[in-house]
Amino acid sequence: MDMIETCLRDPALIWRFQSFFGVEKLEEVEHRRGNVWVAVEAEKHYEREVMGGANGLKRTKDKDQQSCQHRRKDNKLVEEESSNVNSSGYSSEGEEEVEKGDSHKGEQVVRKGDKNIIYYKIRNQFWYFLFLFGSQLGDEPLCALFFSFWFWNLDASVGRRLVLVWNIVMYIGQGLKDIIRWPRPAMPPVIQLEQKWSLEYGMPSTHAMIGLAVPTSAVIYTMATYDYPLVVGVSIMSTWCVLVCCSRMYLGMHSLADILAGLVLSALLLLWVVPLVDYADSFLMSSPLAPAITIPLSLLAVWFYPGSDRWTPARGDTTAALGCYLGVHIGEWLNFQLGFLHQAATLSPYLIQSPTIIEASLMLLRVVIGGLIAVLTRAVLKPLTYHTACYLLNTDKATLLKQEYHIGNKKKLAADLFYKFLTWLTVCFTVVFLSPLVFHLVGCDRAGAYHRTGNLLFY
């Protein structure tokens, strides 16, 4: 069993995967043993120097690889180091500072000249952009667009269910990361091409969990309501999932063990989460007491999120996800309580028809208008809620922004969670409640937008 685990967690396996799809390691520069490793895409002039022999560096590709092997650390030592330091100069959306002026972003501060550097080059742009897109399929921004598209252009009843499934799976996966605390694949030998998540632990892969849960749930919730070939839904679901999982290995962010564990865990969760969400949807929409249940539960989920031995972005991202669901629920609940939602006039299954040019234009217009409303809401709420948090904590914004993220810095952590939760709650509330009203006022609202079971896309 230990041998299987070691094999599945082997960072060399991920590096071979990266290399196969066109990631080339040019040079490893180790300034000081034990320091942070960063991956830098070599500039053209640097590549010419390394490959062409400038400054005495006359190397062939094979010699470069030998140099990499010469400098490479023992895998065990690298894993120990990677659990204490990180190579990220970025943070996820959930962890970015309120003002761009803060240079810490929660990472260990290391002087530029002391960083160990891996220079690399992307030899195959097709695979790079394909896997980059695949990774976005599991990221919050694209998921937000995907869910919003369901509310604005497809079927809000499916959108509600998808958001709740995503929220539950995301919470469990992120919590397990901070409980299990397995580091991400060690760099070197791996090259982390997407370093914004490197602060988090790796097991299980929440990208893999979401990559399976979201498209699978979408197929399950639509296959009995809409008339379309099941093979089409399964094909889209499979392609989505495979692309997300492969992208995480290509970008050097997860081991094969992380991916497989995420898929197995997500599949097990879907066995009870999908029917539970489907069953609870009617109650959450129609009961006057529903917010009295979802609001306390969401706050308790934030409060009792599993602790970690060091600060990671996981708790902040999970808090933002909880705020997203609560905003969606309150908005849709208000739509029902105010009489905006009503049962569709026809019975399922519904036919899916191709949109006309006018209908497609209206769909795009709704995305643009709804997106602008969401962006403006976030731009206003983010600093407002952060200032409010500082006031409640009896501190000032400038002081908190100068401080680094640390599990012992309770005020900074509290302010961070406060503003993320309320900001994303409000943004998602506007997506499902305010934006449809604006669409109606502008005259671009969707037919069946307020049906409890709406007409899917292409009405």
Amino acid identity, position 154 = L
| The one catalytic residue among 104, 254, 406, 451 | 254
387 among known catalytic residues = no
Catalytic residue among 31, 45, 207, 387: 207
Q: What is the distance between the alpha carbons of residues 146 and 140, in angstroms, rounded to a whole number?
A: 10
Q: Which amino acid is at 8?
A: L
- Angstrom distance (rounded) from CA 432 to CA 156: 8
State the residue for tokens 């495979």. 242
Neighbours of 137 (CB within 10 A): 20
- Amino acid at position 447, single letter: A
* Residue 364: other Cβ atoms inside 10 A: 12
Determine whether 46 is exposed, middle or buried from the number of CB atoms within 10 Å of its CB (0-12, 13-18, 19+): middle
> What is the torsional sign of CA 418, 420, 423, 429?
negative
SS (H, E, C) the chain: CHHHHHHHHCHHHHHHHHHHCCEEEEEEECCCCCCCEEEEECCHHHHHHHHHCHHHCCCCHHHHHHHHHHHCCCHHHHHHHHCCCCCCCCCCHHHCCCCCCCCCCCCCCCCHHHCEEEEEEECCHHHHHHHHHHHHCCCHHHHHHHHHHHHHHCCHHHHHHHHHHHHHHHHHHHHHHHHHCCCCCCCCCCCCCCHHHCCCCCCCCHHHHHHHHHHHHHHHHHHCCEECCHHHHHHHHHHHHHHHHHHHHHCCCCCHHHHHHHHHHHHHHHHHHHHHHHHHHHHHHHCCCHHHHHHHHHHHHHHCCCCCCCCCCHHHHHHHHHHHHHHHHHHHHHHHHCCCCECCCCCCCEECCCCCHHHHHHHHHHHHHHHHHHHHHHHHHHHHHHHHHHHHCCCCHHHHHHCCCCCCCHHHHHHHHHHHHHHHHHHHHHHHHHHHHHHHHHCCCCCCCCECCCCCCCC
Active site (annotated) includes residue 31: no
Known catalytic residues are: 207, 254
